[in-house]
Structure 1
Amino acid sequence: MSDQPSSTSDLSDKDRLRIEANRQRALNLRLARLTAHPYGAAKSRPPETAVAVKSHGVNVIKVSGSKFIDSGGGFLIEQRTGGSKEDEPTVDEKEPEVDSVPLPVEFDECLECGDRFADSWLMATFGYKEYLLKDCDLDKREPVLKFISRKNPHNVRWGEMKLYLHIQIEERALQVWGSEENLVKEKELRDEKREVTKVKKYNKRLKELRMDMRSSLYDKRETSKAHTHSWDEDEVYNEEEDTYTRKCESCGHQETYEKM
């Protein structure tokens, strides 16, 4: 008849301490092995399961220690474990002293953050159309305006664009035209001239179409015949320049020439 195993109650305090030390050592070794090979340990673990519980009338799903609230619309909202931002202590931000910040030389930087303004630079064509400036006003009139060159975004094979500072374009326009009222008047005057030219081109084209459609009413040979000058017999002699001037009797054209 074999001996019966001794009960744990028969162990001495020394044996219990030794067993506890061995158990802690084994746990530490297992933890170190999981830290060194986390993916290998994940394969050996059993698949995670989700547990649904009901708390305060709300369906809560627990997965791997994380809690998700069922919104009822097909979405799971993760429940925050930390404190909200409202509970965090607020830090008083010191407002920048605008008066003490020096004004940038180029006027293209924000006084508070120092970033460049996105709409500070304008193309030269904008200065031509809106402020009625010419190339000489931008590049030759003193002081010459600074600009930056950029590739044309529409076609890289075209020439580079010149971008001028918006505030400097406005100052140069006031320098050229004297005041904003004069600039507005000049723009209105040019618009009127443009409309007159447009009407003249329209009437000329309309007349050509009528001549093409009703050719019997027009003598094309007369209209297309070249003009021949009939010079006046009286010539005017200029002694200082040693030249002669004569005038056409039909059209009034004057011609100045020299005699050998």
Structure 2
Amino acid sequence: MSEANANQLISNEETVTAEPKPEPLTAAQRARSERQRLKARALRDARLIQRPTSCREGLTAPTVNALDSGGGFLLEEEDEAPAPKLAARPAPIVHATEQPRCVTCERLFPQSFLFDNFDHPVCDECRDNGDEHALMTRTEAKNEFLLKDCDLDSRPPPLRYLRRRNPHSSRYGDMRLYLRAQVEARALLVWGSEDELASERERREEARSRTRLQRDHKRLRALRLDVRSSLYDRQRGVHTHEFGAESYDEAADQYSRTCATCGHIETYEKM
């Protein structure tokens, strides 16, 4: 190799070495990139569930069950359990400065069930499903804490909830599951204190007891009237006839007599 070529090669290597290196991504940029990746993956999985493999590959679509209506056309059978819709779960928060702090153990955590679904800062390790972190239906929340629909939906901020399929029948509407701790906090906001809530519970229970007592008294009174009226009818039905003089009918060859009180005619024969 000549000296000129060697010098040229060295200069090229120095030029390549001198090129600036790409700057590393920050924690926020990495977290945003991870969220976008998980969202794109969830959307892709949802499209795969909605479109079967055979339809995507151009093969024959699966046969649809049909029922003969008897009117010259077929009715398609509806599946009792439709395909579930996948919801994209939020990506974990990578940067420590943006992570929430658990109100129980006071540790930072990137992701948890209660934080993702209810915006409640409690990590999965401190979650207690049997007490304040239990889920309750909308009806239970209204009956136990004496709340109205406007207290759950209209009073800011509206309580977050999870939708679950009704276990009794697929024809019923989906259930709304609320976090018990948030429902208790909303009840204290509405009633002011636990003492006021307890007093309102007692007042409503006393009102229900009075209503039941009045209903029972009304039924008992109607039953007594029925018994008295039946006894009066039976006593009124007891009657002793007072017959007058008897008469003889030669054509029928029988005797008859008439009650002077009620007009009853009694016929009889004599041997």
TM-score, normalised via structure 2 length: 0.40
Structure possessing the higher relative contact order (Cα contacts under 8 Å, 6 or more residues apart): 2
The structure whose residues are more often strand, as a share, is 1
The structure with the largest alpha-carbon Rg is 1
TM-score by length of 1: 0.41
